Amino acid sequence: MHRLPAHTLLMAALGTGRNPRRLRATIARRRRQEKAMRRILIKNLLNSDHPQAEVRACGWVRTRRDAKGFSFLEVNDGSCLKNLQVIVAEDSPAFAALHEATTGAAVAIGGALVASPGAGQKWELKAAALEVLGPADPESYPLQKKRHSDEFLRTIAHLRPRTNKYGAIFRIRSEAAFAVHRFFRERGFFWLHSPILTGSDCEGAGEMFRVTTLPHAAPPPGGEDPFAADFFGREANLTVSGQLEAELFATALGNVYTFGPTFRAENSNTPRHAAEFWMIEPEMAFADLNDDMDLAEELVKAMTTHVMEHCREDLDLFARFVDKELMRNLEAIAAEPYVRLPYAEAVAILKRSGRAFEFPVDFGADLQTEHERFLCEEHFRKPVIVYDYPREIKAFYMRLNADEKTVAAMDLLVPRVGELVGGSQREERLAVLERRIAEAGMAAKPYWWYLDIRRFGSVPHAGFGLGFERFLMMATGVGNIRDVIPFPRTPKHLEF
């Protein structure tokens, strides 16, 4: 509604002979009525510092309990964990629509926000009007008032955000994403939108999803290029990382980061892997491995602190029902300095532990989750950064150390998850990088642009990738990646 300035209203009143004071009172009353009819978030109603005579709330009915002369509705709109209790009296006009306000129904309620006599709640809504915006069949609505397994809820991923657990997870996810952008903005990084479609393989592992417009038919005869007639005239895939493109921009803008979806066609059904996942990937020019480790530790601490400060109510849910040690672990992650030790020393600690690991550990073997978790959960009881890995188990772009046996790589390990961050100082020496590409059995031609950065003004630079879903698993104690991403993509599963 367009609001006229006070002097305009007065002039209009004088021109029509109407009483200006009465007109002002009428305008003010109408504005109060309009304001009362606007939807107020349940979060804001529950945090109100005073009762309110006229408010309007909308949401979904969690439960309904009928008593003699009135009924109780528990309504949630997703803005917070707590429900708003609504009292519908039998003599209220709202009572007429109550029969349709079953569990799962979408409702709009008008009434007065009044002090609640019930324990554990400050306010309740005394309904004067009730409108059922969208009914829900109580016989077929799958989210009834009982405990549902995570496995069952994955089959109804379109409805699971309405539960306490998953509503909390995705509010935390949203807040954590905001923390990422704030962290990098405060430090002068630029956000790079790296491409989703790519013709290169950042990891060199070949586990990529192919993208094609070619029909499903036999390959062309005579050894012709099977992708010559494709949309791009060459093989195209979904990206496994935005790192290579971020390196290009870091050598122009200084400090950049990417934050977006990445894809890996790894036929793995473990609780830590998904085919589609989100990565945070900063790259810094004029930086070495120590700078890289510093930034990774700062980022993890900043994200953890942010969600602890802004999502406390949601985190408390997981601390009560998922992981009793959650808050102690998060406080340590946010406040204590991280252990840093070379890979060789980490292997020595594991061998001296006397633990019968499923995967034997020796120098040259990649650390498995059980090794990573032992280091940070049992031996040090805090996050650990392992660095200087054997060259054979790391990617071609990681800078070769002076010993020619190890690379300037690092992994940041956290309790419950294991590896959260993987990064390195990048190989900035053209001749060494060309040799490393050849040793990996890869063709250099598709990476001509990546090599060009080493030809024209090459600088020491470093970066890392932080798995966003793994951070959320760490922050909530949730043990399966499928439960911290809205619609998980895993082998043989592409629903929703």
Query: What is the per-residue pLDDT across 324-380, written as a single tens digit (0 to 9) for each?
Result: 999 999 999 999 999 999 999 999 999 999 999 999 999 999 999 999 999 999 999
pLDDT per residue as tens digits for the range 178-194:
999 999 999 999 999 99
Please indicate, yes or no, if residue 35 is contained in any of the structural domains. no
Same domain, 203 and 87: no
Please indicate, yes or no, if residue 77 is contained in any of the structural domains. yes
Task: Report d(CA 140, CA 212) in Å as an integer.
Answer: 41
**C-alpha distances in angstroms, 321 versus 146, 147, 225, 485?**
15, 12, 56, 20
What mean pLDDT is reported for the chain? 92
- Domain total of the chain: 2
Residues of the domain holding 76? 42-134
**To which H or E segment does residue 410 belong?**
strand 406-414
Instruction: Write down which residue in 134, 151, 170 finishes a domain.
Output: 134
Same domain, 116 and 167: no
As a whole number, mean pLDDT of residues 285-293 equals: 98
Q: Which CATH number characterizes residue 62's domain?
A: 2.40.50.140
As a whole number, mean pLDDT of residues 7-28 equals: 62
Same domain, 295 and 238: yes
* Whether the Cβ atoms of residue 375 and residue 353 lie closer than 8 Å to each other: no
As a whole number, mean pLDDT of residues 36-51 equals: 92
Same domain, 313 and 444: yes
Q: Strand order of the sheet with strand 418-425?
A: 190-191, 255-263, 276-285, 461-467, 418-425, 406-414, 384-390, 339-342
Same domain, 122 and 187: no
Please indicate, yes or no, if residue 48 is contained in any of the structural domains. yes
Residue 119 pLDDT = 80
Please indicate, yes or no, if residue 309 is contained in any of the structural domains. yes
Task: Report d(CA 379, CA 40) in Å as an integer.
Answer: 50
Same domain, 68 and 179: no
Same domain, 96 and 177: no
Same domain, 116 and 168: no
Tell whether the model's pLDDT for residue 9 goes beyond 70. Answer: no
Same domain, 179 and 60: no
Residue pointed to by tokens 């009924």: 71
As a whole number, mean pLDDT of residues 85-101 equals: 96
* Whether the Cβ atoms of residue 489 and residue 277 lie closer than 8 Å to each other: no
439 — pLDDT class (breaks 50, 70, 90): very high
Residue 8 pLDDT = 54
Please indicate, yes or no, if residue 89 is contained in any of the structural domains. yes
DSSP 407: E
Please indicate, yes or no, if residue 26 is contained in any of the structural domains. no
* Whether the Cβ atoms of residue 305 and residue 330 lie closer than 8 Å to each other: no
pLDDT per residue as tens digits for the range 386-409:
999 999 999 999 999 999 999 999
Q: Which CATH number characterizes residue 335's domain?
A: 3.30.930.10
Please indicate, yes or no, if residue 292 is contained in any of the structural domains. yes
Q: Which amino acid is at 80?
A: C
Task: Report d(CA 200, CA 77) in Å as an integer.
Answer: 44
Same domain, 49 and 179: no
Residue 1 pLDDT = 43
Residue 268 pLDDT = 87
Q: Which amino acid is at 181?
A: H
Task: Report d(CA 164, CA 144) in Å as an integer.
Answer: 12
Task: Report d(CA 159, CA 143) in Å as an integer.
Answer: 8
Tokens of 46: 């529950």
**pTM tops 0.75, yes or no:** yes
* Whether the Cβ atoms of residue 199 and residue 234 lie closer than 8 Å to each other: yes
Residue 14 pLDDT = 55
Residue pointed to by tokens 């002097």: 7
Residue 226 pLDDT = 83
**C-alpha distances in angstroms, 300 versus 96, 145, 232, 295, 413?**
53, 37, 39, 9, 11
Same domain, 343 and 287: yes
Radius of gyration of the chain (CA): 29
pLDDT per residue as tens digits for the range 236-259:
999 999 999 999 999 999 999 999
Same domain, 266 and 398: yes
Characterise 188 by phi-psi region: left (phi > 0), alpha (psi -120 to 50), beta (else).
Answer: left
Secondary-structure percent of the chain, ordered helix, strand, coil, rounded to 5: 35, 25, 40
Q: What residues form DSSP beta bridges with 14?
A: none
Residue 120 pLDDT = 81
Please indicate, yes or no, if residue 8 is contained in any of the structural domains. no
Q: Parallel, antiparallel, or unpaired for β 276-285 and 210-211? A: unpaired
470 — pLDDT class (breaks 50, 70, 90): very high
Tokens of 70: 């009135």
